[in-house]
Amino acid sequence: MGADVILLEGHKMGGDCLNFGCVPSKALLASAKVAHVQAHAAPFGVADQVPKVDYSAAKDHVHDVIAAIAPMDSPERFEGFGVRVLREYGAFVSPTEVMAGQYRIKARRVVISTGSSPFVPPIPGLDSVPYQTNETLFDLREQPEHLLIIGGGPIGLEMAQAHVRLGCKVTVIEGARALGKDDPEAAAVVLEALRAEGIEIVEGVQAAEIRGKAGAIEVLAADGQVFAGSHLLMAVGRKPNIDRLNLEAAGIERTRTGIKVDDALITTNRKVYAIGDVAGGLQFTHVAGYHAGVIIKSALFGLPSKAKTHHIPWATYTDPELAQIGLTEAQAREQHGLRLEVARFDMHHNDRALAERKTKGFIKLMVVKGRPVGITIVGPQAGELISLWSLVLANNLKMGQVAAMVAPYPSIGELNKRVAGAYFTPRLFENASVKRVVGLVQRWLP
C-alpha cells in the first residue's frame, strides 16, 4: 500500500504457529489419524491392521509440512513485497525508537507482534529433570514409552491423542478440569472419546514435585499420588514474549497477561500497537491475523477501527473436534437469563455422520431475540462447521437467514442448517396460531 516497513525477527520466521504450534501439531495428528484408521477399519468391511509406527518418520512428515509452508513466511517473500527484513530482536530505546542489533530505527508507528511462549511453572524438581514443551517436542525422535503430560487444555489433549495413537502410553495430569474453558457437556464428549482410546486423564490433581531422570520420570501430586513415565510434556499455558522489549523506555504498560491495549489495540504509547498473543487476549493465530487487519485501517489511513471478540471462533483438533464461538450455554444463561433460547441438533441424526460412523457429538445454539450469541460444536469437522457462525455473528445475522441456506446432501455441513431448523421447529409445529391459519387456508384455498 506504499508504506515504508521494517520487519524485525530475531528467531524463526513464521513464529510459534509455523515452527512449534498449529502446523506441526496438526501434522502429527494427521500421522496419528492414519495409524488409528488402520487399527479400526473392521466396521467398514476392511480388516484391522496393527499399524507399524515409525515415530521418527512421523516427525519427518511434520518437518516436511513445515518446510512446505515456510516459503510463505520467508524473508525473501517479504523482501519481494518491498519490506526490509532484519533478523534481529527489537528493543525500545525511546517512545519512537527501536534498537535492532546495530540499527537504531525511528518509526512513525510500531507494531508489537512478538507472540507467546510455553509457560513452565516453578514446580520443585522440574529444573533437574528433562522435559518437553511445544518448542522441543517436534524435534524429539525417540518414541516415548509413556508420556506424562501436565496440563489438560487443548495442547495437552491434542498431543495426548496423537501419541496414544502412535503407540505410546499417555497420562494427562490436570490441576482443575480438563478443557476447562469449554462447554462442560461438549468437553465430556471429547474426554470420553480420549479415555476410550486408552488415555489416562486425571483431573483436580496438582503436580507438587518432579523427580527422576531421562527415561524414568515421576510426578508427585499434592494428594500423594505418584505418576511414573518415560517422558514429560509441560502444557500448562502460555506467557507473552515481552521480556526483551524494554517497554518502560517507550512508556508502554503491561498487564498480568501481556501488554495493555485499548479497543483499537493501541498501547499506552499512542504510536505503538500490540496484536496477537502479546496483547493478552485470545491466543490463536487467526486472532493475530484479524488484529493485523484491524490496525491497518488506523495505522495506514488514520481511520477509527476497533477489535471485537464476539465473532472469534476457536477449535480443539482432537477426534472428535470441539469448537466454540461467542457465549457458552452457561455464560449465555448468566448474561441473558429468560431471554435465552437453546437449540440443539445431535450428530447421530446427520446421514453423512452415520455413513462415516462418526456420530458422537452435537451442535448447540444459544439465541437471544432471533440472533445467535454463542455456538458450541463437538464432533467431526467442528472446526470447519464453526466458520459459518463467525460470518453470522460478525454480520449480526438472524436465524431466518441461516435457515434459508441450502447445504449439499449428505454433508456434515447440513448440521448448521438443521440446528437452525431446530430453533424454528416449536414455532412452526407446536404453535396453535400457525395450525389455525393453516387450517383456514386449507379449508378455503381453491
Each residue's pLDDT tens digit, 364-394: 999 999 999 999 999 999 999 999 999 999 9
Average pLDDT over residues 189-194: 98
Q: Which residues neighbour 331 within 8 Å (Cβ) at sequence distance 6 or greater?
A: 374
Q: Is the pLDDT of residue 432 over 90?
A: no
Each residue's pLDDT tens digit, 65-94: 999 999 999 999 999 999 999 999 999 999
Q: Are strands 371-379 and 321-326 parallel, antiparallel or unpaired?
A: antiparallel
Residue in the structure block whose three cell numbers are 518418520: 57
Each residue's pLDDT tens digit, 88-135: 999 999 999 999 999 999 999 999 999 999 999 999 999 999 999 999
CA distances from 77 to 17, 65, 212 (A): 18, 18, 46
Q: Is the pLDDT of residue 202 over 90?
A: yes
DSSP assignment letter at 143: P
pLDDT at 342: 97
DSSP assignment letter at 325: E
Contact by Cβ (8 Å): 208, 226: no
Q: Is the pLDDT of residue 258 over 90?
A: yes
Classified as helix, coil or strand, 300 is helix
pLDDT at 289: 96
Q: Within 13 Å, how many C-alpha atoms sit on residue 330's CB side?
A: 7
pLDDT at 446: 81
Q: Which residues neighbour 360 within 8 Å (Cβ) at sequence distance 6 or greater?
A: 189, 192, 193, 320, 347, 348, 378, 379
pLDDT at 442: 87
pLDDT at 325: 98
Model confidence band, residue 335 (pLDDT cutoffs 50, 70, 90): very high
Burial (Cβ within 10 Å: 0-12, 13-18, ≥19) of residue 83:
middle
Average pLDDT over residues 54-63: 98
Specify the range with the lowest mean pLDDT, choosing from 261-265, 334-338, 441-445: 441-445
Each residue's pLDDT tens digit, 275-312: 999 999 999 999 999 999 999 999 999 999 999 999 99
Q: What dihedral do alpha carbons 186, 192, 197, 203 form, nearest 10°?
A: 100
Spell out the alpha helix ranges (H) of 239-345. 285-301, 329-336
Percent of the chain topping pLDDT 70:
100
Q: Is the pLDDT of residue 437 over 90?
A: no
pLDDT at 435: 83
Contact by Cβ (8 Å): 318, 157: yes
Classified as helix, coil or strand, 240 is strand
Each residue's pLDDT tens digit, 241-253: 999 999 999 999 9
pLDDT at 438: 84
To the nearest whole number, what is the mean pLDDT of the chain? 96
Contact by Cβ (8 Å): 318, 194: yes
Model confidence band, residue 154 (pLDDT cutoffs 50, 70, 90): very high
Residues facing residue 171 across a β-bridge: 148, 200
Average pLDDT over residues 342-366: 97
Three-state secondary structure string covering 148-210: EEECCCHHHHHHHHHHHHCCCEEEEEECCCCCCCCCHHHHHHHHHHHHHCCCEEEECCCEEEE
Model confidence band, residue 443 (pLDDT cutoffs 50, 70, 90): confident
Q: Is the pLDDT of residue 445 over 90?
A: no
Q: What dihedral do alpha carbons 206, 210, 212, 217 form, nearest 10°?
A: 40
Q: Is the pLDDT of residue 436 over 90?
A: no
Instruction: Give the span between the Cα atoms of 218 and 121, in whole angstroms.
Output: 16
Model confidence band, residue 322 (pLDDT cutoffs 50, 70, 90): very high
Q: Are strands 84-86 and 6-8 parallel, antiparallel or unpaired?
A: parallel
Model confidence band, residue 430 (pLDDT cutoffs 50, 70, 90): confident
